[in-house]
Amino acid sequence: MAKKKTYFMCQECGHESIKWVGKCPGCHQFNTMVEEIKTKNDNSHLNLSKDIKIYNINTIASDEKSRIKTGSTELDRVLGGGLVAGSLVLLGGDPGIGKSTLLLQSAHSISERKKTYYLSGEESPQQIKLRASRLGVSSKNLYVLSETDIDMLTHLVEREPPQVLIVDSIQTVFKSSLESAPGSVAQVRECTNTLMKLAKKSGIPIFIVGHVTKEGGIAGPRVLEHMVDTVLYFEGDRHQSFRILRGVKNRFGSTNEIGVYEMVQEGLREVLNPSELFLSQRPIEGPGSIATASMEGTRPILVEIQGLITATNFSTPRRMTNGVDYNRVSLLMAVLEKRVGLFLNNHDAFVNVAGGVKIEEPAVDLAISLAIASSFKEKPINKHWLAIGEVGLTGEVRSVNQIDQRLKEGQKLGFDKALIPHNKNIPDLDGIKVYPIKTVQEGINIVLGGD
């Protein structure tokens, strides 16, 4: 009998090695190499005489209206308008963040119009029923499965096809022809490949849940995210009620949109006006606090930027950020020292975005700079101020896109004064007074009445 050939594959990055090593050469993680069995490719079953269909791009019908609505406005927004037929959607997030809750609630809404299968390899049908009762899920077209063999699932779907399929999670299903354990790199890759072929062949949209590693990435080989059509991340602090649904890959829509949810006793509740929620607990008067407007896709979101500057006795001051890029804050502090004259080199600095939101766009630079200056000078900023603008290395305030939409969102929430970059097209809105500025120094003088 021929001896089976084995190799070792990293569970984190998918790096292959002919022998076991304690430290992966690819991602430098320890104890992640797992033995796999190398299977020989056999093409004898292929029918090479079969005609291959070729389509002209202009003859292919495409109906944007055929998207399936999930019943969740926020989820539909992130997906680009709803589920596309035959799409494979991967949802990742930390344990206990609410992935299963979100999909079970969505399955309830979808099953009111479409036959839906919910496969769970982590919970029994009785456990799912307990959670469904708490969430108020009771649709007649929602069917629960606990089968984890991917071949049995494929056979069932082909025999009694649903209109939507949810697999929770991809790390629990397995292919019986592979001898490796469920959740291994080989099993995750092959099971995802099987589900992808099933979705494209049958036209059934499929949701799959993916576990994440301690670094925050989806567990399994990196090729997993390349195989699926859409990758969604469910983010948030488990100690807070807010949850952010963010798309990092979407073949059928934008990746700039986010969905905002609030975790309550009855499950996840959509937050249709995130700006009002994030600013609801803002202090009336306090140094180091100012509001800004960030664009998340097509929707402006107002958030509170908080800064705390305190003197330190240590030679190396601390710099800590939450929700904004650490290096960006360090750059802005250097600009404030050089261009404005704020001596921060012997002060600890802490910058936070209230509500657990992560903001990456440079349009919040001006707000971060003003929050730091306000805390350093111990001068509060009036709560009706809104600051929007990017800050350059020479201290100039540069223009940002979609300034009109940002100001209109601020106007809705009662802001009547706004600092914006100086340019030729200054918006004129009733109810909000605009102060165009060219430098950070000008903004500090206007807001804090510079010394």
pLDDT tens-digit profile of 69-87?
A: 999 999 999 999 899 999 9
Nearest to 393 by CA among 346, 335, 441, 352: 335
Contact 397, 373 (CB under 8 A): no
Nearest to 87 by CA among 260, 247, 261, 299: 247
Whether 311 has a pLDDT exceeding 80, the answer reads yes
Q: Mean per-residue pLDDT for 208-221?
A: 75
Distance in angstroms (rounded) separating the CA atoms of residues 162 and 145: 12
Task: Map tokens 């206007």 to a residue.
Answer: 446
Q: Mean per-residue pLDDT for 417-446?
A: 89
Contact 297, 254 (CB under 8 A): yes
94 is in an annotated binding site: yes
Rounded to 10 degrees, what is the CA torsion of 367, 371, 372, 375?
Answer: 170
pLDDT of the residue at 292: 96
106 is in an annotated binding site: no
Whether 441 has a pLDDT exceeding 60, the answer reads yes
Nearest to 442 by CA among 434, 432, 450: 450
Whether 361 has a pLDDT exceeding 70, the answer reads yes
Q: Mean per-residue pLDDT for 19-33?
A: 88
Tens of pLDDT, residues 169-180: 899 999 988 877
Write down the CATH number for the domain with range 277-448.
Answer: 3.30.230.10
pLDDT of the residue at 43: 55
Whether 165 has a pLDDT exceeding 90, the answer reads yes
Q: Mean per-residue pLDDT for 244-252?
A: 91
98 is in an annotated binding site: yes
> Of 47-51, 114-118, 233-237, where does mean pLDDT reach its minimum?
47-51
Q: From the CB of residue 434, how many other CB atoms can be counted at a distance below 10 Å?
A: 16
Strands 33-37 and 6-10: antiparallel
**Banded pLDDT at 1 (limits 50, 70, 90):** very low
| Structure tokens belonging to residue 262 | 């609030």
Return the DSSP state at 229: S
How far the first Cα of the chain sits from its last, in Å, is 87
Q: Mean per-residue pLDDT for 422-439?
A: 86
428 is in an annotated binding site: no
379 vs 218, which has greater pLDDT? 379
At residue 145, the 3 state secondary structure works out as: strand
**Architecture of the domain delimited by 67-272:** 3-Layer(aba) Sandwich (3.40)
pLDDT of the residue at 32: 81
Q: Mean per-residue pLDDT for 9-28?
A: 86
**Banded pLDDT at 236 (limits 50, 70, 90):** confident
| Structure tokens belonging to residue 394 | 């020479």
Distance in angstroms (rounded) separating the CA atoms of residues 323 and 122: 32
In this structure, the chain runs to a length of: 451
pLDDT of the residue at 46: 57
Q: Mean per-residue pLDDT for 430-448?
A: 93
pLDDT of the residue at 4: 62
Instruction: Please report the DSSP string for 369-385 in residue order.
Output: HHHHHHHHHT-PPPTTE
pLDDT of the residue at 130: 93
Whether 40 has a pLDDT exceeding 70, the answer reads no
Q: Can you state the angle between helices 125-135 and 99-111, rounded to 10 degrees?
A: 80
At residue 337, the 3 state secondary structure works out as: helix
Distance in angstroms (rounded) separating the CA atoms of residues 50 and 242: 53
230 vs 13, which has greater pLDDT? 230
93 is in an annotated binding site: yes
Contact 315, 321 (CB under 8 A): no
> Who contacts 335 (Cβ-Cβ below 8 Å, separation ≥6)?
369, 391, 392, 393, 395, 440
> Who contacts 239 (Cβ-Cβ below 8 Å, separation ≥6)?
none
Q: Can you state the angle between helices 365-377 and 326-335, rounded to 10 degrees?
A: 60
414 is in an annotated binding site: no
pLDDT of the residue at 163: 95
71 is in an annotated binding site: no
State what percent of residues in the chain have pLDDT above 90. 57
